[in-house]
Amino acid sequence: MQVKDVTEADVVIVGAGNAALCAAMAAHESGATVLVLERAPEAEAGGNSFFTAGATRFVFNDIAELREVLDVSEEEERTVDFGVYTAENFFDDMGRVTQYRCDPDLTETLVGHSRSTLAWMKGKGVKFEPMYGRQAHKVNGRFKFFGGQVCAFWGGGAGLVESEHRIAKALGIPIRYETAAVSLVQEAGRVVGLVAESGGRQSTIRAKAVVLAAGGFESNAEMRARYLGPNWDLAKVRGTRFNMGDGINMALRAGAMPCGHWSGAHAVGWDMNAPTFGDRVVGDGFQKHSYPFSIMVNADGERFVDEGADFRNFTYAKYGLVVLQQPGLFSWQVYDAKVTPLLRDEYRIKQVTRVEANTLEELAHKLEGVNAKAFLRTVEAFNAAVRQDIPFNSVIKDGRCTEGLPVPKSNWANTIDTPPFQAYAVTCGITFTFGGIKVSPQAAVQSVAGAPIPGLYAAGEMVGGLFYFNYPSGTGLVSGAVFGRIAGAEAARHARSL
Ligand SMILES: Cc1cc2nc3c(=O)[nH]c(=O)nc-3n(C[C@H](O)[C@H](O)[C@H](O)COP(=O)(O)OP(=O)(O)OC[C@H]3O[C@@H](n4cnc5c(N)ncnc54)[C@H](O)[C@@H]3O)c2cc1C
């Protein structure tokens, strides 16, 4: 039988990104028959998960726990400082960056299952690698990791999606591409299937349980303007063009409770001239995340944010909004030769909006759209305010700050005086939306009446209540994996109970 002819399954999963495929693997492992529906064509499969660097975050208290996920050689154990990342660290990071709004039960599930879920994926054939290029610097000849995040899925998002699709294929899990879920079918309140559309034709697919893992509404300009506010329709979309909010809207129409930060989104500084949606070749290369070592200036030639407020892991996801709020919706990141060796790999791609100059005056005139005189005044005032008595150290919050400026820089402040100078133009790139639907720690979708909607589960970006205002880097994939795995297993359990 061809995949397109499969019209029923115990568990139907909507989406074929990371959360969906973790749900598919878990439901299959629990003995259910599984069908995956994916709106995108196969050539654009993998949702936002494909576009990621694959960075991930999980709890490990020692090298033995780290090894449950990451293969660390004896040589690396001797020569690399991986640090530890305790459950308390993960809780603190989630609490602090979300202004203590993250749902405690969901957060506990995320933190508590982070390592075991990634180890489960490893057991299925997914591989991991250390993130030397982005999360470590050499200190006295030894790599030291910072920011609580040490590894990534092997091959980044593309590698992760390729592995998951290979595993699903080997398990015989059918994926129907170019097939969009349109609405849920309910009988006496229970979800018993859905209506799907393919090639302009609609059909009903019967299921004992449905897992929604169809992403947020970041790709939908109308919903962005409606929920996030003015100018969000003009943001660049960092990833897939297919996350139109379908899963969230379907769940709401079925009576699900809206939950989380509906006017909030993960958004970063993203190359000014990047395309409207993600580019599958460049991936996340349009991001520009070395800004803690820069000054960022707007069209008025002024600084507008504390570039060094924290490690970039804990500020990058909220600084896209700050750039969106600037006149003209752009900013330039300015570096001098003292710090350019620290720039991340994404600064060396060929599709980059970059200028270079040997004097600050020359640079000022190359910063398109910026008031040159005001920029030079800003640099002068900034240079005079740097606490040069505090040593610079890129792998700790060094406290090397400015004094007396209206917009302070709290760490990694260096004078901008050593040519050649480089500058990079960024605008706002939206990653994913924070608002979604309410689920229990068992990934069961909750109704507005506060009860589970029988037969309906959700995972991934669609889950509301985890992220508010901000987000600790590397949490999206592990969150999708944790709740995807739970959703798949719970959906299979529900199917068995009928
Ligand atoms: C550029 C970029 C870099 C990132 N880097 C990282 C990182 O390094 N680490 C990290 O943890 N997170 C990262 N993220 C965030 C991460 O991508 C997401 O948190 C995660 O991938 C979400 O997984 P998901 O399965 O919920 O959604 P997705 O992977 O987006 O999957 C949703 C799927 O649903 C499909 N779909 C939508 N509507 C329908 C419908 N009606 N019917 C059927 N299918 C539908 C979509 O086509 C898509 O394939 C990054 C995101 C981007 C865009």
Helix (H) or strand (E) holding 465: none
Asked if residues 317 and 470 have their Cβ atoms less than 8 Å apart, the reply is: yes
Give the residue, by CA position, lying nearest to ligand 1 atom 31. 17
Q: Relative to the CA of 459, which ligand 1 atom is closest?
A: 26
Q: What are the structure tokens assigned to 404, written together?
A: 């007396």
What was the pLDDT predicted at 139? 76
**Any idea which fold 267-429 has?**
Flavocytochrome C3; Chain A, domain 1 (3.90.700)
Give the residue, by CA position, lying nearest to ligand 1 atom 42. 180
- The one-character DSSP state at 451 is S
The binding-site residues of ligand 1, defined as CB within 6 angstroms of any ligand atom, are 14-20, 37-40, 47-49, 51-56, 180-181, 213-215, 238-240, 242-243, 246-247, 278, 284, 431-432, 460-461, 474-477, 480
| 368-402: pLDDT as tens digits | 999 999 999 999 999 999 999 999 999 899 999 99
Q: What are the structure tokens assigned to 52, written together?
A: 């990621």
| 412-450: pLDDT as tens digits | 999 999 999 999 999 999 999 999 999 999 999 999 999
461: left (phi over 0), alpha (psi -120 to 50) or beta: alpha
Listed residue (293, 302, 423) closest to 366, CA to CA: 423
Tell me, in angstroms, the distance from the centre of ligand 1 to residue 119's CA. 21
| pLDDT grade for 1, boundaries at 50, 70 and 90 | low
Q: Relative to the CA of 48, which ligand 1 atom is closest?
A: 30
Chain centre to alpha carbon of residue 101: 19
| 294-350: pLDDT as tens digits | 999 999 999 999 999 999 888 999 999 999 999 999 999 999 999 999 999 999 999
Tell me, in angstroms, the distance from the centre of ligand 1 to residue 226's CA. 21
Q: How far is CA 364 from CA 297, 372, 421, in A?
A: 11, 5, 10
Tell me, in angstroms, the distance from the centre of ligand 1 to residue 238's CA. 10
Tell me, in angstroms, the distance from the centre of ligand 1 to residue 266's CA. 12
Collapse the DSSP code of 130 into the 3-class scheme (helix H, G, I; strand E, B; otherwise coil) and give the result.
strand
Helix (H) or strand (E) holding 172: none
Q: Relative to the CA of 20, which ligand 1 atom is closest?
A: 25
By DSSP bridging, strand 175-176 and strand 55-56 are unpaired
Q: What are the structure tokens assigned to 379, written together?
A: 């640099």
Residue 176 has pLDDT above 70, yes or no: yes
| CATH hierarchy code of domain 3-217+434-497 | 3.50.50.60
Whole-angstrom Cα distance, residue 467 to residue 463? 9
Residue 131 has pLDDT above 70, yes or no: yes
Q: Relative to the CA of 45, which ligand 1 atom is closest?
A: 49
Tell me, in angstroms, the distance from the centre of ligand 1 to residue 6's CA. 25
Question: Which of 7-11, 264-268, 293-297 is least confident?
Answer: 7-11
183, amino acid identity: S
Whole-angstrom Cα distance, residue 147 to residue 151? 11
What was the pLDDT predicted at 226? 98
Average pLDDT, the chain: 96
| 26-68: pLDDT as tens digits | 999 999 999 999 999 999 999 999 999 999 999 999 999 999 9
The residue whose CB lies within 8 Å of the most ligand 1 atoms, and thus the one to mutate among 36, 37, 42, 49, is 49
What was the pLDDT predicted at 426? 98
Residue 480 has pLDDT above 70, yes or no: yes
Tell me, in angstroms, the distance from the centre of ligand 1 to residue 418's CA. 41
* pLDDT above 70: percentage of residues in the chain: 99
| 218-261: pLDDT as tens digits | 999 999 999 999 999 999 999 999 999 999 999 999 999 999 99
What was the pLDDT predicted at 118? 98
Chain centre to alpha carbon of residue 223: 19
Q: What is the DSSP string of 406-430?
A: SS---SS---S-SSSEEEEEEEEEE
Query: Which residues touch 380 (CB under 8 Å, ≥6 apart)?
Result: none
Which of 73-87, 307-321, 349-363 has maximum average pLDDT?
A: 349-363
Tell me, in angstroms, the distance from the centre of ligand 1 to residue 350's CA. 25
Tell me, in angstroms, the distance from the centre of ligand 1 to residue 184's CA. 21
What was the pLDDT predicted at 148? 79
Query: Which residues touch 325 (CB under 8 Å, ≥6 apart)?
Result: none
Q: How far is CA 436 from CA 166, 196, 212, 224, 330, in A?
A: 29, 21, 11, 13, 28
Summarize the confidence of residues 454-472 as an average pLDDT. Answer: 97
| Burial of residue 397, with CB atoms counted within 10 A of its CB: 0-12 exposed, 13-18 middle, 19 or more buried | middle
- pTM given for the model: 0.95
Tell me, in angstroms, the distance from the centre of ligand 1 to residue 313's CA. 19
Tell me, in angstroms, the distance from the centre of ligand 1 to residue 47's CA. 4
Whole-angstrom Cα distance, residue 295 to residue 309? 12
Q: Relative to the CA of 196, which ligand 1 atom is closest?
A: 42
Handedness of CA 170, 173, 174, 176 (dihedral sign): negative
- The pairs formed by 400-408 with CB atoms below 8 angstroms and a separation of 24 or more are 401/308, 405/303, 405/381, 407/302, 407/303, 407/304, 407/305, 407/306, 408/306
What was the pLDDT predicted at 351? 95
Listed residue (291, 290, 418, 434) closest to 363, CA to CA: 418
Q: Relative to the CA of 54, which ligand 1 atom is closest?
A: 8
The residue whose CB lies within 8 Å of the most ligand 1 atoms, and thus the one to mutate among 22, 38, 52, 219, is 52
Q: Relative to the CA of 476, which ligand 1 atom is closest?
A: 19
| pLDDT grade for 141, boundaries at 50, 70 and 90 | confident
Domain residue spans in the chain? 3-217+434-497, 267-429
What was the pLDDT predicted at 476? 98
Residue 116 has pLDDT above 90, yes or no: yes
What was the pLDDT predicted at 395? 85
Give the residue, by CA position, lying nearest to ligand 1 atom 48. 47
Give the residue, by CA position, lying nearest to ligand 1 atom 5. 52
